[in-house]
Amino acid sequence: MRFQVGDAATVQRTITERDIELFAEVTGDRNPVHLDDRFARRTRFGRRIAHGMLGASLISAVLANELPGPGTIYLSQTLQFTAPIYLNDTVTVHVTVTKIREDKPIVTLETLCINQHGEIVIRGEAVVLIEEVN
């Protein structure tokens, strides 16, 4: 394998109105806290929030496209949603290799999503299979 403990990748994305609408359309999750300003103002958040899994899906994009990259297959992912992601927040996703199995092409990575204020909004751990594609 071509990876080492400590290898890392970072990707940044601003969550837009369109992202939230498309995510709701694809998943069927139409919770009004994501889609209805009036409803969301009455919640503890005071305004609309992005779907938690929309934020988490950004982790998948980093794993698939950056580190480990193409051919990566999810085996597991833990997630802790520690703060909301609001409309127009810029989320930076950090993934860092923490463990590499010697006997199999399996890599464990710390996964963090951090907003533009430096707050961790999602933290977790991914375990992935590295599929060598020739």
Helix, strand, coil share of the chain (percent; to 5): 25, 35, 35
What pLDDT shows up at residue 131? 80
The pTM (predicted TM-score) of the whole model is: 0.93
- Set out the domains of the chain in order of their start, with CATH numbers: 8-130 (3.10.129.10)
Tokens of 126: 């991914």
pLDDT in tens, 17-72: 999 999 999 999 999 999 999 999 999 999 999 999 999 999 999 999 999 999 99
Q: Phi/psi of residue 34, each to 5°?
A: -95, -30
Tokens of 34: 């994501």
Cβ atoms 51, 21 nearer than 8 A: no
pLDDT in tens, 88-115: 999 999 999 999 999 999 999 999 999 9
pLDDT in tens, 72-88: 999 999 999 999 999 99
